[in-house]
Amino acid sequence: MRRTPPLPKTGTKAAKEFFSSWHDINRLFDFVLALAGRADHVAKTAHTALLETQHDPAKKAEMEASWNNRRGAIDELKANRQLLLETILVRHVENFINYLSAVLFEIFTTRPETLKSSDKVEVAKVLEHDSIESLVREIAETKVDALSYSSFSKMSEFFEERFRISLASEEDIKFIHEYIEIRNISVHNRCYINKRFLARMNLGLSEIGKKKELFGQNLDALIPKLAEVVKAIDLVVRRKMKVKGIRFNSKLGTNVG
């Protein structure tokens, strides 16, 4: 059973979007599990009722044999466990990465001075804008886009060096990094372990080409951890970087807006 941590009532716009998506992904996952369970329950109830009304021993035995050989909804779900878990894992990891990009953009636009670096901006680019706010937003978007394609470790280093903000404990960063790498091989290599995964996870060559199997406990560990880490990051960002907070709707989900 996945533990659902208490969700915050306020946070940055980036956090609002993260928790809305986090809620929707979990709701879909729970719906699929419940639907399979209900389908099998209904089938079992119907089968039992039919058996009770069947008085021919031979036909009754035939019905029992057919039932025992059937493949129910839960059996189908188990057969497709890997695909379902990969899909949910990928969506959760991408939601987390999107949060980091979004909150970074909020920091840059709230505190433009944090954009100071050796990066040069062409005069022509400056002249395209009719206000300093518009220019800052474009520079921020460019910086966020560049960082969003870097590794989680690079993103963590950037937050630490530029803002003196730690995204998570060393243990949690290592944990999240592993799931980001699992997301990468799921998206790019059908979840088969490749050389890049080996190098980043410090695994032996004997693992290459093997399928990275996923189980329910993987999501049980990942889902609450991402929510916990985002809550912590968001609190620090609001306090330290003075990013404006907003109140969330009482019920997070697609209706958050």
Share of the chain above pLDDT 90, in %: 68
Distance of CA 226 to the CA centre of its chain: 7
Per residue in 12-45, pLDDT (tens digit) is: 999 999 999 999 999 999 999 999 999 999 999 9
Per residue in 87-108, pLDDT (tens digit) is: 999 999 999 999 998 999 999 8
Could you tell me the pLDDT band of residue 124, with boundaries at 50, 70 and 90?
A: low
Per-chain mean pLDDT for the chain: 88
Q: Can you tell me which residue has the tokens 């025992």?
A: 68
* DSSP code at position 202: T
Could you tell me the pLDDT band of residue 1, with boundaries at 50, 70 and 90?
A: very low
Could you tell me the pLDDT band of residue 77, with boundaries at 50, 70 and 90?
A: very high
pLDDT of residue 137: 76
* Cα 7 from Cα 1, distance rounded (Å): 18
Question: Domain boundaries in the chain?
Answer: 10-243
pTM for the predicted model, two decimal places? 0.87
Contact 15, 234 (CB under 8 A): yes
Enumerate the β-bridge partners of residue 247.
10
pLDDT of residue 151: 79
Show the DSSP H helices in the chain as ranges. 13-53, 57-68, 73-79, 81-110, 123-127, 132-148, 152-158, 170-189, 195-201, 216-240
Does the pLDDT of residue 253 top 50, yes or no?
Answer: yes
Does the pLDDT of residue 66 top 60, yes or no?
Answer: yes
Between residues 249 and 109, the one the model is more confident about = 109
* Cα 128 from Cα 124, distance rounded (Å): 7
DSSP per-residue codes, 8-58: PSEE-HHHHHHHHHHHHHHHHHHHHHHHHHHHHHHHHHHHHHHHHH---HH
Average pLDDT over residues 162-183: 94
